[in-house]
Structures are given as C-alpha cells and as structure tokens.
Amino acid sequence: MAAGVWYYGVSVDGDGIEHWKKPVKLSDPFRIIGRGQDLEGLEYRVIEFKRNGKRQREAMPLGIVGRPDGWEFLRSLGIGVKQSGATMGLLADYTQWDGSREDWRIVKRGGWCDNAFSAYVLPSGEIIGNPENKVIYIGDTSKREAFQTAGSLEQWRAEIGRYVSGNSCPLLALGMVFAAPLLKLMKQESGGFHFFGSSSIGKSISGLIALSALGEPTRIKVQWKGTSLGFDNEAAANNDGLLFLDEISEADPKTAKDVAYSIFNGVQKLQGAAKGGNRARLSWTVAAVSTGEFDLESYLRAAGFELNAGQAVRLPSIPADAGKGYGVFDTLHGFSDGRALATHLEEAAKSCYGHVYRAYLSELVGRLKQDCEAVKARIKALQQEFEAMLPPDLSNQPARAAKRFILAAAALELAAEWGVTGFDKGTGFAGVLSCFSAWFERDGGGNREDMQIRKNARDFLQGHGRSCKHFVNLASAGVGGDYQADYFEFWGFYVPSSYERGGAARPCYYITDKAFEEHICKGFDVRKVCHVLADCGWLKKDGKNTKYPIPKKAVDSQFVGAKRMYYFSGDVPPDEWEDAACRAADGGE
C-alpha cells in the first residue's frame, strides 16, 4: 500500500458484525504532531511531513482547514490531496480532530520565544535553546537559506576574526550583532549606527563582517531600497537580532526617512482586518547597521526632509574612514593596503559563516538558564567599565546614543570572555571607544534637540527676518497702515541695528505666536523651545514671562492686537554673533 493518509471505514452488517471497508487514500503522508496558538489567539495544527527526503514541520491555521486555501496550503508543501468532496471532508476531519494534542508555541517573529529567555528563534526557523513548549516559526522565511553555516568557528577566527581585531568600525558592527539579543534583557531601545563615506574606503566591509557571524552575508543583507511593509517584515524576522541596511543612496529619501522612524519605533503600521476592527500588529526590537556615502541628515536634507532628534539618536552617523590612510581599517595586519585586506575578508566570508552567532547564543541561552541575574550583573559591570571611559555628564541626546555604544562594547567583551571570537580582553572596548570618539567629536557634543531648536530659529530669522512679505520694519515711516496690502501673512516686526554689542550692531525681532509655533517650534513643546532659546540668551524674557512688551509704535500699528510677542536679540544666538564680531575685528581671519 502506498504511503499516505488513508481512511479505514467500518460497516455493520445485519447481524451487528463490524467489517472494515476498503481503505480510501486521502492525501500524501503527513501527521499531526501538535496544536498551538499565536499571539493573536488563532489556532493552528502542527504537521510533519517529508520533502525531498528531509523531515519538515509547518503550522497550518485551523481556520483554513477544509477550505480551498487549506488544500492550497497543503499542496504548496508538496502534499497531494485527493480531489473529491468525500475524501476532502474526511481529510478535514483528520486534520482537525486526530493526532497529537501536544502544545506548541506559534511565533511570527524571530528572537526570544518568551520573557524567560529560554530559547531564541533564528530567521531560518532554527531554535537555539530548550523552551518549555516546543516552538515553530511561521514568520518571513525569505532568508531561510541564507541563515545557514559554512566552514567552522575556528576557521572564522583565523580568517576573519583575527583581522577584525584592532579595526574600530568592523568591531562596532560586530558588536551590534552580539548586542542585539541583549536589548530586551537589559531593557534598551532599538537603534543602530550609520557608517558613511565614499565608496572607495570600503565601508560595507564592516557590515559584511558582522553578517558573516549570522550566515551567508551577501544573501542576508537588506538594501535600503524597498517598501515600508517589506522593512516591517524584515524587522520582525530579525527581532532581537541585527538588521543590515546597505547603501542608503539607493533608497527613495522619503522611504529612508520613514524607515529610520518605523523600524526603531518597533511596531507595524496599523492595518484594518477584513472582518472589521484592526489586525494585531507585529512588534520587534532590533539593532541595525547602515551604510551610505552621506550621513543620514545630509542625505535627507538634500531631498528637502529634516531628520528629527529622535531619528538622529536612534541611528547616529559615524565616519567610516578610520583616518589612518587605509580607508575603513585602522590597521592592515600585514596586508599591503586596505583593498587587499578587504578582498581577503570578502573571500573568507564566502566560505566561513554562521557559526559565531550560534556559538554566542548557545552560551547566552545556557548561562541565562543557569543564572539569569548573574549574566545581567556581568553585563552591567562591563557597561560601567566602558562608560567610565566616556566624557562625564553627557546631555540627554548624546547620553541616549552612548547607551548603544556601551552595550556594543560590553557585548564584544562578553563574547571574548566566552571564547567565541578569540579577541583579547579590551579589544572590543578599544574599537568601540574609537568610533564613539569619532561620532562625539563630529556630532555628539550637544543635545540634539536643543541644537535642532536653535537651528530652526536661526534658519527662520536669517531666511525670512527681513522679508517685506512677512515682517514690518519698525524703523520705517508709515507703520500705521500704508503697507497692509503688501503683506499676505504677518509674522512680526523687524528692528534693524537696535543696539550695539561688542562693536557690532544687532537686529531684533518680535515674532507672533503663530509664526513662533509653526516655524521655530516645529512640533517641539513651546515651553521647551522657550527654555532653550532663553537659556542661551537669544530669546529675551520679561521676568518670568517668555514674551516681551512690543514698542508703542508697534502697538499702535494695525498689524497686531497683542501687546507682547516673542523677542529675539539678533538673527543668530549670542555666542555665534560674538564669534562673528571677533572674526570681523581680527580682519576676517
């Protein structure tokens, strides 16, 4: 009798004796090995079958059993189904009621299976660890074949790891691989780093090295060019893991802007359900490494978009050029130049991949099961050790970004302690500290939100402060009403050269509430904006009042009814004005 699912019916004759009916084949062979629910509460049947000689498992939604899409589901797995109403009905009964009732956990995203950190799901569906309930992954499997292994862990250390040591950008990228599964454990937010620089410096090699820890690098990497839904699926599949986004210049700028927000926001866009209400949304936590020729802010600004402070903190831009004359590398380890080392690493990554992350996860899962608090305590100790190397008293935005550098450094040291990478103690700290210093010197020296607020005010006043379409010059005659037809939107008053400071005349501006909120606040809290601009001496307050009395000439004009407006002394902050005045006094040097 051919293998398959067969129905053995029973008939009863007139004497009450049971007889077996002729067996009826319902389908190719598969068996029910369990049942489970997903996070939405939907029921599944876990089936096991052979395909190309290999045993496979899939979760079949109970809701499609006995329906055309249910038969299509089975056939897509290579399981043939007999085409008749009677046999299909019997097969539907078998699928619903027979087989094992063992409980399974049905997951639609990779990463940690539960809050106990008992097991980790790779995007291939492979399970690292021993969860209380068996687990089956039904999320995006488009990269299943990419998350495989080749070579050995020892080969990776010899051909790749030894050359990563001493090279800061590759170390930070690899550190994000090890940091990713620690994000939830240490209660940190999603985020990453964007390495930028010309194509000649080999910036993508850092990402390739990081991906070699996971699987086949060229098949795992994700191009910035894609759709929001596609990125959501990638993020969910790589939950608690690394997402490598290569070459931002290939992306539509608006998509890049949206992705920089949505991926790190960690939740799928709201979508309506066919039967009413909304679908349950996927959520995720990810670490990311991105590359591009330009830093994220410059790339978006060139397309007319602004990078908000939150996005800049979640994906800070780091120069990929190490500044040693070798492109992305700090040291060549005996190779003739950066290109030769990069070529070696690219070739090595084609034949040696996937073992590092599995070894690291196996250690992590085992140690968490043995003593979770001890693991967290060790990570915290490493974090504190590295944090002591950073500048003290970082302001809010740099401090948020610094947490990611700190975790990456700690994770690198942890992997070295566990014998995964072969790195010497302190190698991870040194590499990440070098990247932090490059970022901090360029972009991290101040609170990003405060810097953005000052920039908004500067751009507004320098770009529009003397516009006759929006500002009335109080020094001109006839403010009382001769020019009303010339102004289609009134934003305030302009007072040229109102007083002298350091030998240089400074203009002043009185700004309406509407213009202040729309063009300077731009979504920031009004009170915060007032605090930032007053704190640097630019916005003048009247005691505790953030608005200043306007001159009588302005009060008597037909443009305003209010007697107070936001008052700016100068079109740039005082420190910038004084710097300009000093340069002028020195002859423009």
Note whether residue 121 is domain-resident: no
Q: How far is CA 500 from CA 27, 51, 503, 581, in A?
A: 92, 85, 6, 11
Q: How far is CA 378 from CA 120, 410, 419, in A?
A: 21, 9, 16
Note whether residue 145 is domain-resident: no
Q: Same domain, yes or no, for 437 and 466?
A: no
Parallel, antiparallel or unpaired: strands 18-20 and 10-12: antiparallel
Note whether residue 21 is domain-resident: yes
Tell me what pLDDT residue 474 has.
80
Tell me what pLDDT residue 117 has.
95
Note whether residue 191 is domain-resident: yes
Which of 444, 469, 493 is where one domain is finished? 444
Q: How many domains does the chain have?
A: 3
417: left (phi over 0), alpha (psi -120 to 50) or beta: alpha
Please report, to the nearest 10 degrees, the dihedral formed by the alpha carbons of residues 450, 452, 457, 461 taken in order. 140
Closest CA to 109 of 94, 95, 98, 120: 120
Tell me what pLDDT residue 168 has.
98
Q: Same domain, yes or no, for 530 and 382?
A: no
Please state the pTM of the whole predicted model.
0.77
Note whether residue 126 is domain-resident: no
SS3 497: strand
SS3 111: strand
Q: Same domain, yes or no, for 369 and 513?
A: no
Name the maximum alpha-carbon separation found in the chain.
121
Residue pointed to by tokens 């410059």 = 298
Q: Same domain, yes or no, for 322 and 436?
A: yes
Distance CA 330, CA 430 (A): 11
Q: Same domain, yes or no, for 480 and 523?
A: yes
Distance CA 584, CA 577 (A): 11
Which of 411, 444, 477 is where one domain is finished? 444
Q: Same domain, yes or no, for 517 and 437?
A: no
Question: Please, where are the H alpha helices in 127-278?
Answer: 153-156, 162-164, 168-179, 204-212, 217-220, 228-237, 253-265
Q: Same domain, yes or no, for 56 and 19?
A: yes
Tell me what pLDDT residue 446 has.
57
DSSP 330-392: S--TT-SSHHHHHHHHHHHHHHSBSHHHHHHHHHHHHHHHHHHHHHHHHHHHHHHHHHTTSPS
Task: For residue 488, report the phi and psi dihedrals to the nearest 5 degrees.
Answer: -90, -20
SS3 211: helix
Q: Same domain, yes or no, for 307 and 362?
A: yes
Distance CA 467, CA 511 (A): 13
Q: CB-hemisphere CA count at 13 Å for 230?
A: 11
The distance of Cα 474 from the centroid of its chain, to the nearest Å, equals 50
Domain of 422?
153-272+279-444
Q: Same domain, yes or no, for 21 and 63?
A: yes
First vs last C-alpha separation in the chain: 95
> In this structure, are residues 283 and 268 in contact, taking their beta carbons and an 8 Å threshold?
yes
481: left (phi over 0), alpha (psi -120 to 50) or beta: left
Strand-pairing partners, residue 493, are 472, 510
Token pair, residue 68, equals 């055309």
Q: What is the DSSP-derived secondary structure letter of residue 551?
A: P
Q: Same domain, yes or no, for 420 and 536?
A: no
Tell me what pLDDT residue 120 has.
97
Q: What is the DSSP-derived secondary structure letter of residue 121?
A: E
Q: Same domain, yes or no, for 310 and 364?
A: yes
Note whether residue 438 is domain-resident: yes
Note whether residue 40 is domain-resident: yes
Residue pointed to by tokens 């300077």 = 520
| C-beta neighbour count of 223 within 10 angstroms | 13
Which of 444, 460, 481 is where one domain is finished? 444
Residue 277's identity, in one-letter code, is G
Closest CA to 296 of 247, 242, 263, 234: 247
Note whether residue 417 is domain-resident: yes
Closest CA to 326 of 317, 338, 318, 316: 338
Q: Same domain, yes or no, for 411 and 350?
A: yes
The tens-digit pLDDT sequence of the chain (589 residues) is 789 999 999 888 888 888 888 999 999 999 999 999 998 889 999 999 999 999 999 999 999 999 999 999 999 999 999 999 999 999 999 999 999 999 999 999 999 998 899 999 999 999 999 888 899 999 888 889 999 999 999 999 999 999 999 999 999 999 999 999 999 999 999 999 999 998 878 889 999 999 999 999 999 998 888 777 788 888 988 999 999 999 888 888 888 888 878 888 888 765 655 555 556 678 899 999 999 998 888 888 788 887 777 778 889 999 999 999 999 999 999 999 999 999 999 999 999 999 999 999 999 999 999 999 999 999 999 999 999 999 988 877 889 999 999 999 999 999 999 999 999 999 999 999 999 999 998 876 656 678 888 989 999 999 998 887 888 888 774 554 444 445 568 898 888 875 433 445 688 999 999 999 999 998 888 998 999 999 999 999 999 999 999 888 777 676 766 789 999 999 899 877 755 444 444 444 4
Distance CA 568, CA 529 (A): 13
